[in-house]
Amino acid sequence: MTSTYDLVSHIPAYMVEILSAHILGKTADSRKLAEGLSDEARLERILEGLTARQTAILLDLYELGGSISWDLLTALYLPEYEQLRQDLTFLGSMGIVFQGGLSGRDPIILLPSMYPLLEEKRKRYQGNTGDFTWREPRKVSISGHIALLNTLRVSGIRCKAGMEPFKRGWQILEERLGPVADYERLYWELVELGCIRESKGVLRVSQQASSEFAADGDARYPVWRFIRSCRPYPGLDHKVHAIMADRALREDYFSRALTLFIISRNPDEVRADGIVHSLIEEWLDLGVLQRDDSGRWLRLSEHTFSALKTGRIQVSLHAYSEDVVIQPNMEILAPGDFDPVDLLNLGEMADLVRSDVVSIYQITKRSITRALHLGWDAEKIRGFLERISRHELPDNVGKTVQGWILAHTEACILRGTFLVLSRTDDRPPRGLSEVLPGIYRIPGNCEEEVLAQLSKNDVIVRGAILEDESGEGAGWGRMTPVVPQQKSQWKEARREGVFPFGMVTPLPYGTKGEGIFEKALHDGRDVVIFYPRQGYGEIQVKRISPLYLFRKDGIPFVEAFCEDTGEGETFDITKVRALLMDS
């Protein structure tokens, strides 16, 4: 509904004078009725006189776009259904809440002229972020994810279809990652991000995706988790940005707005309050939201607000710990806040023994072989260890690593046709013909088989295309800036028109309907009824004064004087569509 004039245009012409007399105290045409309903001074007086519960109902209607289905509204106020009807009836009598039909279950419509006043009310729950003292946003570490990736490099965990590790695989992860909370969640997040792949039933680390994750994860992960948590409720991330923006917002109002949003998408969601509470706590843990010192106000962290507004993640510099200790027994002690990129690289050349506040890695011949297969060489390995070590690299560590490297034969594949071995005395894979000393021809379509045999013999192959290099990075998903939400469009009213809530009510079935006419007869009151025009099926409005009630063939009838025709008429009570008790 775009304006009050638009709303009034949906009120049946035959009802305009009647409703204006009830609401404004005087009869008026459609234009005068719209002007009267829109009178700001009148609306301000009504708003000031409302109870807190009635004001909350209006704010809920406004938050939901000004039009809401009856089923959704009753789902929101189910424990207080009768009180809700009483409040809506009062608001209808004031001409600020309407219903789009006569069935009693039609959409509830808020008077559009109330929007500016309710927006001012809503501003009471908003504040300037500079007026509050904010707690520092919590920092989220991806060290647990990196530790899990490093565990997979060592363990060779097998998996079922769908990349579900077998029971023993979960046990290995638990043993290595003991203190890491919720390692199953970390595992599936890495699968979703494309950092873990499956090859012949064994879980492998995807090199490029993992490198990107380690490089950008500290900045991107909290926002990714936020958007991911909103995914079951499409549009929730946009809603959060729209109502919060760069302002402070009272937590109770923020929570209520999100609850309304979730229930508006799924009226059967009875756990909406609990879901919203869990989401807010999760976002606080991620550093997406910040809470002020009083514990009553929330805001989006600057990093998150910028990401949602622009669609770009600002990767800032972090201060990481440099207290890495490399011991003569080939153990490496790495702090929990170690640089994720270096931690991932460390896992390529050393085996994770235990992840903890200080994690333990062990350099072994097998781990050095793994590093060589991943493209490391002697100079690069030594340079890396010297750079990350807090103290001078123990002499025996450097010599031992160098000795392990020299013990490996190296091979090079030229254009996928020739194999060159660094040692002419080494035996090549079977089936290759030697064209020159140390150079062998690879038959067509046999490169994979040759690589497998070389790898089995711990030969380091240079120039081969690694199976895991698919060129795809971490699957963060596309980050797009949020766009203003469109107001929910008011659905066209039923053909009966729009009426103030509770003023025109459907006639109850059975004896309750007869009882209304009996009471009107007893009190001497007129009744405005909505009755089908004979032969046309159209609804006509008649003001009647009940004179006598009787039954014929079990059907209740009322004999009444009709003020519109000036004659006595008989009406079938079961055909009365709705009624309005005249004052």
d(CA 327, CA 362): 10
Average pLDDT of span 569-580: 86
Residue 490 has a pLDDT of 47
Q: Which residue has better confidence, 413 or 72?
A: 72
pLDDT beyond 90 at 62: yes
Lowest-pLDDT range, 89-98, 190-199, 407-416, 568-577?
407-416
Rounded-to-10 torsion of CA 470, 476, 479, 485: 130
Q: Which residues pair with 283 in a beta bridge?
A: none
CA 384 vs. chain centroid, Å, equals: 41
DSSP strand pairing (555-562 vs 539-552)? antiparallel
Residue 496 has a pLDDT of 67
Amino acid letter, residue 121: K
Contacts 24+ apart (CB under 8 A), 170-174: 173/148
Residue 11 has a pLDDT of 87
Task: Identify which of 374, 349, 378 has the alpha carbon closest to the alpha carbon of residue 455.
Answer: 374
This prediction has a pTM of 0.78
Residue 257 has a pLDDT of 93
Contacts 24+ apart (CB under 8 A), 26-34: 31/5, 33/8, 34/4, 34/5, 34/7, 34/8
Six-digit token string for 213: 């994750």
d(CA 461, CA 421): 9
Residues in the chain: 583
Q: What is the pLDDT of residues 513-551, one digit of tens each?
A: 888 888 888 888 888 888 888 755 677 888 889 999 999
Residue 493 has a pLDDT of 45
Q: How confident is the model at residue 457 (pLDDT cuts 50, 70, 90)?
A: low
d(CA 530, CA 395): 99
In the chain, pLDDT over 70 holds for what percent of residues? 85
